[in-house]
Amino acid sequence: MCNFTDDINYLVSASKMLSSMAVAYGNSHTFDCCYLGNQQEVVELGQGFIEKIIPLNEYSIFDIASLTKLFTCVAVLMLIEKRKINMTDTIVALDKRFSRLFDVSIYDVLTYRANLKSPERIADQNSYNDALKQVFSIFPSKEKSEKLYSDMHALVLKYVVESVTDTRFDDFLRDNIFKPLNMHTTYGDVPYDKLDNCVSYNYEHKIINGKYIIDRDVKLGTPHDPKARILKSQSSAISGHAGIFSTLLDMVKFCQALLSGELISYGTLSLIGVNQSGYLKPSGEYQQYMGLICFSKSVVKRFSEVPEWMGQKAFALSGYTGCHLAIDPESGVFEVMLGNRCHNRVSLIHPIYDLASYNLNPDGSGTVIWRNGRKVVSSFQYVYNKDEYLHKPVYERLKQMQLI
């Protein structure tokens, strides 16, 4: 176990933006890690919340949220290396259910060059079948979006993998990634006897247009992402863009396997972080930098999830629940953090004009007085604190370990 500085402890111990975080960093053959905070803090009984502390430990299972996208990306790249598919193949040629993606290629989807949309919000559908109908109605929009990053692309690629391999996506990941890497605590569908190890993401608080909202639907082992929840079925638990549950040590195995070439070649790994979309626009602003499904290093730091100290071929992803993963093929190092910004936290206030009016500090930390007078810790603007309280301390530790 590592001894972090006060900087990284700030996110859990001082600001309490995160109820828990498990952090690891290293290279293909060595790593250091740390566990901070609680797997669960409260439960709701009757009309109120009561304290129920379950400390975090190495067996705690996190909802890795959008870090799932990297598994989807790697699955596609494995098929490309095995010559099962090509970058130029159209989506409809590989899966005829996507009839509106007849001129959209694998490359277009991997690089976000196609702006994919569903006719209606998938999360708002009333049933699995209604949601699936929206998935297969995804189309390339002509809108020029400022934000290229989207769930739609990894969601489409999940079904392409299934169609090409004639295998459930969950089974493909299990047989080609989880089992070969001995990732024995990584799941789509968490076994019943492991639910007590799951980190709680329930009771997320939001204030939207003056309305006070608490999400009570995120049961243990249930994806936080509403699209992943509605698309979860007996035949498919992992949605491509979200849906994987894992422990920190299993995620270390995944990162180290990527760096050591066990899943895809170094050359292919090095392509993931190469900018495919970003450029300087005539207005003087920059279009978002994206590689293959993942964020590339950008000249505008706030447009990227890649730590500033990583190289030009590095790539990264973050998850809504508070997770983060970054890999730098050139220096051969990784950083992975599984965190929880949702459990009994105020994660969103919209619109907001004055942080002080909600009793919050300039960095978004502090407590918000709920309508019933209860004080609720804020994780609002947590994402803007990762550079200072996660990436920089990890960089210092990697230097101490003489890995960079």
Tell me, what's the pLDDT at 153? Answer: 98
Mutual angle of helices 68-81 and 152-165, in 10-degree steps: 40
What is each CA distance from 9 to 141, 224, 247, 300, in whole angstroms?
A: 43, 25, 20, 27
What value does the CA radius of gyration of the chain take, rounded to a whole number of Å?
20
Q: With pLDDT > 70 as the criterion, what percentage of the chain qualifies? A: 98
Strand partners, 402: none
Can you list the alpha helix ranges (DSSP code H) found in 136-210? 152-165, 169-173
pLDDT in tens, 196-211: 999 999 999 999 998 9
Of 14, 37, 38, 21, residue with least CA distance to 394 = 21
For the chain, give the mean pLDDT.
94
C-alpha to C-alpha distance for 399 and 166, rounded to whole angstroms: 45
pLDDT in tens, 130-170: 999 999 999 999 988 778 999 999 999 999 999 999 999 99
Tell me, what's the pLDDT at 44? Answer: 93
Backbone torsions φ then ψ of 12, nearest 5 degrees: -110, -50
The one-letter amino acid code at 63 reads: D
Tell me, what's the pLDDT at 366? Answer: 94
Please report which confidence band the pLDDT of residue 355 belongs to, taking 50, 70 and 90 as the band edges.
Answer: confident
330 vs 358 pLDDT, higher one: 330
Structural domains in the chain plus CATH codes: 6-68+179-400 (3.40.710)
pLDDT in tens, 296-337: 999 888 778 999 999 999 999 999 999 999 999 999 999 999
Query: In terms of C-beta distances under 8 Å and separation of at least 24 residues, what long-range contacts does 372-376 make, across chains too?
Result: 374/49, 376/205, 376/344, 376/345, 376/346
DSSP states along 337-404: EEEES-TTEEEEEES-S-GGGGTB-TTS-BEEE-TTS-EEEE-TTGGGGHIIIIIHHHHHHHHHTT--
C-alpha to C-alpha distance for 267 and 102, rounded to whole angstroms: 29
C-alpha to C-alpha distance for 245 and 64, rounded to whole angstroms: 6
Q: Considering the entire predicted model, what is its pTM? A: 0.96
Exposure letters 253-283 (e unless 16+ CB within 10 A, then b): bbbbbbbeeebbeeebbebbbbbbebeeeee
Tell me, what's the pLDDT at 6? Answer: 64
Backbone torsions φ then ψ of 22, nearest 5 degrees: -120, 120
The one-letter amino acid code at 28 reads: S
Question: Tokens in use for 307?
Answer: 């730590």
pLDDT in tens, 49-69: 999 999 999 999 999 999 999
Backbone torsions φ then ψ of 6, nearest 5 degrees: -60, -25
